[in-house]
A and B are shown apart, each in its own frame.
Chain A
Amino acid sequence: MTSRHDPPHQDEGVEDIDDFHGLAELTDAELTTSHERLRHVIAEYRETTDSLADRPTVGLRERVLDIVHRETAMGPSTELRTPRGRHFEVLTAAVRAIVRDVVDETPGLAARRVHVDAHDDGAAMSLRIGLSMAPHVGIDDVEPQLRTEVDDAVRREVGVSTARIDLVLEEVHDG
């Protein structure tokens, strides 16, 4: 494969060009021509080395994700309290995941960053939800239901209500 954007090598801008230890007698044109003659060898090299590295990466992914999950479980938490005043903590990453799931279920919307804050001494939650939206979606059409569904999910899964939900359109995506 050759670069899709760069022209063949040109001398301008080359640094340390005098460091060739006797190889510099090739002109630039000769070098380009000679290197081009090796295209089929380079293509074969690419195919051969592709196949050598073309092995299952499932084990690699599992090792990485095991560590990532463990580190996430030790991540920051948000302090809340039940209606009866009992204090408890919930992993902030878990709240974010609940909110993201609701947003992602809405056609044409995808969640981006979710900021979580305790509100009213932990009796409720404030959320700031970044959104990526498809161009055909009207935010006014989906906003009321989205707020309701996010609040329902947070009440159901965490046990507190939302005092405030800020929806922030951060990006418009294709499709």
Chain B
Amino acid sequence: MKVSVGLGSCGIAAGALEVWDAVQKVVNKDGANIEIAVTGCIGMCHLEPLLDVIENDGHVFTYGQVTGEKVTEILSSHLAGQGPIREYIVSSSEMSNDFLKQQVRVALRNCGRINPESLDDYQAQGGYKALEKAMKEMTPEEVISELKGSGLRGRGGAGFPTWFKWNATREAPSNEKYIVCNADEGDPGAFMDRSVLESDPHSVLEGMAIAGYVIGSNTGVIYCRAEYPLAIKRLEIAIKQAKEKGLLGNNILESDFCFDIYIKQGAGAFVCGEETALIASLEGERGMPRLKPPFPAQKGYWNHPTNINNVETLANIPWIISNGGQAFAAMGTEESKGTKVFALAGKIKHGGLVEVPMGKTLREVIFSIGGGIKNDRKFKAVQMGGPSGGCIPEELLDIPIEYQSIKDTGAIMGSGGMIVVDDTTCMVDMARFFLDFTQKESCGKCVQCRIGTKRMLEILERICQGDGREGDIELLEELAVEIKEGSLCGLGQSAPNPVLTTIRYFRSEYEAHIKDKKCPALQCKNLITYNIDAEKCKGCGLCAKKCPVQCIAGERREPHVIDQDKCIKCGTCYEACPTKFAAVKVD
């Protein structure tokens, strides 16, 4: 029997290390014949911590929301031959759950299935066979034509055809070229790259080595955010293992191809996801973008031709080489081929990472796979593409997920963040939130972006505070155009998108804030008050007990009163008041 525990960052945050300790305790105590292993993240974040029991006959049982106590119970049942404990099972090899069975996993093929710290595990899944195939059976031109046939486009945000970049860097004249992996996943709400790096680091290394072979480069650099320490640790282990086995380093697979990879840690700047800013940061400078052309494919890292690909893009490469470009292109739609990973989060029941063929509808992903809205509230919008993207309303939920159709809504595919919001989210506040982010992250080089985003933020702030003026919506739209036109890089060019899409689809909410001084979602604190209805209050004192700032007073069994000066409008009292009284009112 084999037991594996999902030790990705989110698993650990949910308590997976305690589960790991509990499993070890069982093994040590009973001397049970159990092989234990670490695995990465399968993507079912809402069910973490996860534990897999693999019986000797090959059956896999996945348990969710496991605790130390449950571990003992689960393992003793399996060890005693009493079979699995059905009520704790979330998925099994015979019957995978709705979340998993609708997915097609290419980039995530090994995530949560293999031990990310074991090269043997990766090779048992056919790992490094694609590199061998590319080097021994294919010319670089053939690899590029395979990629072209696959229709793979960059998964980091811009969606540029991957083969084109590879070809351009390959054809650029220079003796020194670089392969850079962009692992500076800065979009708040996107965590697919972290998961791939933590759960299947070798797939990224193999993708980079294939790129090195095709493009004619001997050096790869992974630019990874410092906020991902576990990803960095697992990459370091993987690089060392691959070198020991002659899969990286000098004379790979006994050929004369040499390719080394090292890691550079980012230091926390969203703009460094932009290619030229990333290069500046790699060179140890402030990460400020520069004008293109020349493109990195001509003049990149230290002015040498540089090919930059995102983590998910690179993780797709070995699969494409092994299975052929046609197999990848067979999935998805005419315009958007293959599969894409999405990070489902926000007010969703089953949050996590999902990989589906392009062309699925948003509704399928959010409702069939994601299980719909938390607490069965009403769906309001899905935010796609992070700070560069936009909010898509319910009437557009049936559009297929493709680069162009998403772009037509005013959002972008981006790196695949999908934040679902319900009727308790204020869309003006959502726009303010993103502008606050881009305004802080603007590098300051272009005037329109540096000052324009600040002015937009000020307007949004005053609208949320109830000081919005007639004409503010038009002013926002005017500024948006200026910022888009006057900015050098993608950050500024796309910064107004969250504002423009919320105005486009939720204009009435802006108007309610400005004209009626009301926040329909009851979120903007200056526009709402919490009051206790003296008639209904029975003086149970629950609200006063739970209030984090102790601003509710009242005698027992007497109506309580909220001190409006001290109230931070957190809504705790509203939640605390028993539904049978429903004495706390918000308006």
The answer to whether A and B assemble together is no
| Residues in A lying within 8 Å of B, measured CB to CB | none
